[in-house]
């Protein structure tokens, strides 16, 4: 199961909160829509809180 995040309606803080929810409930990850509208603060939040699976 994934947690979906719609980037246009988010802030860096709301993304951090949702990533925390995904971690707390051991979800399989997060999915982001509309990556082109994510600002630098949002990217920093994601980098600081996620580990990419490759």
- What is residue 21's predicted lDDT score, i.e. its pLDDT? 92
pLDDT digits (tens, 9 = 90+) for 25-43: 999 888 888 777 888 988 8
Write down the pLDDT at residue 37: 80
Q: Which residues pair with 33 in a beta bridge?
A: 6
With 80 as the cut, is the pLDDT of residue 52 above it?
no
Q: Say how far apart CA 9 and CA 37 lie, in whole Å.
A: 10
Q: Where are the domains of the chain?
A: 2-6+13-49
Give this prediction's pTM: 0.71
């Amino acid at each position: 199961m994934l947690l979906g995040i719609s980037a246009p309606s988010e802030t860096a803080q709301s993304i951090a909160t949702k990533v925390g929810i995904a971690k707390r409930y051991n979800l399989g990850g997060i999915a982001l829509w509309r990556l082109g509208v994510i600002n630098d603060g949002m990217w920093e939040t994601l980098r600081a809180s996620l580990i990419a699976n490759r």
